[in-house]
Amino acid sequence: MPTSLIGVPPDVAQLREEIFNISHGQPISIERARFQQLWPYLDNIYVFKGTRKPTRGPTVTYLYRRLFRDKDHKTLVAPGDRQRNWASRSAIGCPCRLKKVDNGSGPIQLIRNSKQGHNHEYSALAWKITSGIKALAGQEVSKGYTASQVANVLKNPQNGNLQALHLAGGEALRSQDVRNAGL
Ligand SMILES: [Zn+2]
């Protein structure tokens, strides 16, 4: 059987919420190693939208999020109708913008550089799984398990995995995602 418990870093949920709720004028400082370990579990909140790397001074990376209407997300919860609802969801521009400032060493700073925060609930992120979860699924597939075996174990509500997926941005995981992750 595939690994029964998934190795999601324990503080990922806390950092996800902290970063989601980041305030204008209140940067978040994250220790470099921790940022690198946890970012793959955060990348369904923000995506990189370009980097400015001057010859001197810090590297600044801009993070935006393209999101979809909350009302469409609510309909996603109904299983079975999922495919059709995914096709009908409509894009909104979430005004929340972030920049990541990297001095090359020391902690990473995340700064909200938009006055406006998110225009949607945290739960609106649930439709998209993080690359950290994709990588975990891919590891299991590479051991020779089928996509549905892996998906079943990862989504098992009895062994804590479903909760871990929820905390790490992977609750929308489907067998097809596992299949793609293993390619
Ligand atoms: Zn947003």
User: 30 C-alpha vs ligand 1 centroid, how far in Å?
Assistant: 20
Provide the residue ranges of all domains of the chain, joining segments of one domain with +: 8-127, 129-183
pLDDT at 11 over 50: yes
Q: By mean pLDDT, which of 4-8, 93-97, 127-131 is the weakest?
A: 4-8
User: 11 C-alpha vs ligand 1 centroid, how far in Å?
Assistant: 21
pLDDT value for 83: 47
Burial of 96 (0-12, 13-18, 19+ CB in 10 A): buried
Which residue bears the tokens 């909104």? 92
Radius of gyration of the chain (CA): 17
Per-residue confidence at 33, pLDDT binned at 50, 70, 90? very high
User: 40 C-alpha vs ligand 1 centroid, how far in Å?
Assistant: 17
**What stretch of H or E contains 137?**
helix 131-142
How far is residue 98 from each of residues 31, 77, 151, measured CA to CA in Å? 17, 28, 33
User: 126 C-alpha vs ligand 1 centroid, how far in Å?
Assistant: 12
pLDDT value for 55: 86
User: 149 C-alpha vs ligand 1 centroid, how far in Å?
Assistant: 33
Tokens at residue 134, please? 């994709």
User: 146 C-alpha vs ligand 1 centroid, how far in Å?
Assistant: 34
Which of residues 62 and 164 earns the better pLDDT score? 62
